[in-house]
């Protein structure tokens, strides 16, 4: 069975056993959470009632994503700024979609 969940403003297609990286969620490694905003659920070609489906996940780790370089430049004005940013993320293992 699969479900489409929304967390952190993004949508993810998940099934039992999947690993996904989402925007930072509260909790420590090893905690179990329930993903609440379920948009669609089904199995194969048939769709199920999304209101009756629950998705539980285990937090694997709290980590940072890849570094994004922000470089600003204005031509002929000797203006250059280089900045880096690493977004906080949470690694999840989907335990069950029921």
- How many Å apart are CA 62 and CA 86, to the nearest integer? 13
**What gap in Å lies between CA 23 and CA 89, rounded to an integer?**
5
Phi, psi of 9 (to 5 degrees): 80, 5
Phi and psi angles of residue 57, each rounded to the nearest 5 degrees, phi first: -140, 155
Question: What is the per-residue pLDDT across 62-95, written as a single tens digit (0 to 9) for each?
Answer: 999 999 999 999 999 999 999 999 999 999 999 9
pLDDT given for residue 6 in this prediction = 97
Tokens, residue 43 = 């199995």
* 30-41: pLDDT as tens digits: 999 999 999 999
Q: What is the band of 55 on the pLDDT scale with cuts at 50, 70, 90? A: very high
Q: Are 27 and 2 in contact (CB under 8 A)?
A: no
Asked if 60 contacts 19 with a C-beta cutoff of 8 angstroms, the reply is: yes
- Quick one: pLDDT band at residue 10, thresholds 50, 70, 90? very high
């Amino acid at each position: 069975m699969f479900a489409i969940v929304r967390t952190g403003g993004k949508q993810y297609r998940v099934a039992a056993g999947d690993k996904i990286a989402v925007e930072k969620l509260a909790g420590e490694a090893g905690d179990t959470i329930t993903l609440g905003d379920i948009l669609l659920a089904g199995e194969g070609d048939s769709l199920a009632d999304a209101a009756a489906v629950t998705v539980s996940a285990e937090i694997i780790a709290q980590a940072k994503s890849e570094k994004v370089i922000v470089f600003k430049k204005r031509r002929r004005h000797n203006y250059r700024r280089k900045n880096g940013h690493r977004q906080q993320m949470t690694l999840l293992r989907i335990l069950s979609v029921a």
